[in-house]
Structure 1
């Protein structure tokens, strides 16, 4: 499957949509608080949204709009959704399962999915991955309370467009009422509202969300039930596994019974944070798939299309998620692979996808869909990592820049391209055949 670049709308017509202000005076309220006294540890990661002067926290302007008016273009707002009548509650567990599969199939049974990544699965990157084969994507994790209360946070962290579908909007939460308030703001603009039960990081422990809710399954159940009973869009859950398989299966079944329409399983435990050190347990994912009656996605060890094929065969899952490998190779789902993963002796095939070209594509998407500069800086470090290793002086110059501009970034990428030395991506016949086979496997599971 090749890049999805044909028949695309002109940039001027593809403005990102942001949520319109729904809670008056929330920004003034947040500015009046003393962050050191009023913010809990869970809010520490978002404190920069109201206090930090760092230029990287500013949203990048559209160059075309800036040239025309001398000021950044105002993003197209997403109007508050018109209330939609809730569907009647399912009469039985069988009907709930039928609805879950009917929705999945209406979306085209997406198989190749961009996983949620903090500051890294924002709209421009999602659109880049969609050009190169991704069937669906998650937003970064959104903090439900801050999202529901803070207009600036909503404007900065959640943007979308009509081409950005199917879309999972992911929240972390530990209060069913606050979670529902946040979810109601996005339900008209996505295909699933997703609950993050998988984040293993220290901030999640301090804030009491993510994988640390695995110790409180009644709360987990109440969060899922609150959404499934009050949203017009289906609820999905992204989880990690327990050390004991029987606990994992009981957990997954509880989510299904609580109203989840899809479960994505990261095949590592909460303590297995290092994906390079710990291999994902595909046997556990297979056991969950066999135990549930709703769609199940597999997460872990997906570095290229050969892994997609192997994972679908091993687990029987309905699709796969990939996270960090996409940061270096957004064309993964189009069959491209990085040189480090090239099989010994396999010198045939189509090389020729320069990481600098992907960086240029990404920058142009950021010009269409403005995001905070910090996200752009992070992505360029990943996309151009092989180039920076060969030319560390360019990386040092990039790191020293306190204020980024598109003109300067394009010049830097052009310079790296002229200097050469970056590791190209390639696509060989094996990758293409794997993609075809994986598509057939996923279709057979639908």
Structure 2
């Protein structure tokens, strides 16, 4: 597996980062073992690294697609042809700030994810700051299909950022769905729903100037007719794929507000490009039900994967375990997944803050049984792989294993055959 970092880190950790063009990947070979930001004030902002990591070569850039067709019909045909070339992925890792980074994407792919989004990247900072580029976006040749997601409110700045990643992804995605306060302050994400001309210009500028297709991720309006008009505008502006989170921007709590699958179905019925559904995916039965209800071309999962990255392989947490003999201990638990994740982090270094966040989320049930171990983790100012491996072993030795459960089902085979 080969690591790709947009702004490669030099061999000496004391050397300053230096940007090299992603269009010349042969000049960007680096050693993951050298990937360390000595200038970071907070140890959690350092890149995790393994002394034994082998040198990695960068993947070749993706071949450029033909120029944007003039005909709307031809553009729609190309949108579907591209989707099918990718294998028509049905199970996708959603974009999550600080939580859908390369090692986590690779873990989810290992357990059934067909495609994945990067974390949301800030287009202006990405365009201007080499340290941000180096730390926040990495990929490798096995990390495909890949959506690179940006938040933005300036078409030209967004295009500058997108140009840097287009050779290394399958879609450049625009975030029109973030409902958080920071998005309100920064005037991006779901708060651009109040400025539809700007939304349209962001999509049009990318679609007219990139060789890779443009996708968008949106939330719904309170009124269905507004949602449909919004989605159709995005398609007409040049979006080759639309992912729909079936909640409004005011419905931030996924446990309190159920996603509106009827609204997603209406969007799917109204559009002619691929549509993905996001919301209410807790296990594979939800995947099956969502695809049947909405007719969507795939589903996204976010919060559920953070707790259980093996969701798409059919594993469930105890919260969603069903009664019956066919549901049993699947021979896997979240501590096993943490060990796998840490090994991937040694191979693909990322900031320690991301590692710390994933460990907390995956071991939440264990920490409720042994809160003293969680407190030890919280007190660690500077993490190491050795300390984290020892912590997981201590949890296992303390007992109280929290298994994942697996129901034997033909759903995976059904999804696979539908992609053939």
TM-score after normalising by structure 1: 0.84
Contact 2:124 2:161 survives alignment (8 Å): yes
Q: 1:135 to 1:86 in 2, by over 3 A?
A: closer
Q: Could you state the TM-score of these two structures normalised by the residue count of structure 2?
A: 0.90
For the pair 1:167 / 2:167, whether they are aligned, the reply is no
Say if 2:5 is the partner of 1:18: yes
1:53 to 32, 37, 41: 41
Residue equivalent to 2:413: 436
* Pair 1:117–1:399, CA change in 2 (3 A): same
In the TM superposition, 1:33-432 aligns within 5 A as: 53-65=41-53, 87-346=66-325, 348-429=327-408, 432=409
Q: What SS class does the counterpart of residue 288 from structure 1 fall into?
A: helix
Does the CA-based 8 Å contact 2:146-2:170 persist in structure 1?
yes
Residue aligned with 2:257, SS: coil
Q: Is the 8 A contact 1:148 1:181 kept in 2?
A: yes
Q: CA deviation at 1:386?
A: 1.0
Q: Distance in 2 between matches of 1:245 and 1:102?
A: 29
RMSD: 2.2
1:88 deviation in Å?
A: 3.3
Post-superposition offset of 1:156: 0.1
1:418 CA drift (Å): 1.7
User: Any idea what SS the aligned residue of 1:403 has?
Assistant: coil
| Partner SS, residue 268 of structure 1 | coil
Which of the pair is proportionally richer in helix?
A: 1
SS at structure 1 position matched to 2:52: helix
User: Is 1:18–1:78's contact at 8 Å kept on the other side of the alignment?
Assistant: no
Deviation sequence 1:389-414 (CA, Å, 0-9, x none): 11111110111000101111111111
Q: Is the 8 A contact 2:92 2:299 kept in 1?
A: yes
Instruction: Look up the SS of the partner of 1:351 in the other structure.
Output: strand
Contact in 2 for aligned 1:355/1:422 (Cα 8 Å): no
Report how far residue 355 of structure 1 moved. 1.2
Q: Does the Cα contact within 8 Å between 2:329 and 2:403 map onto a contact in 1?
A: no
Change in Cα spacing, 1:183 to 1:242, as seen in structure 2 (3 Å) is same
How many residues align? The count is 395
Specify the alignment match of 1:11 in structure 2. none
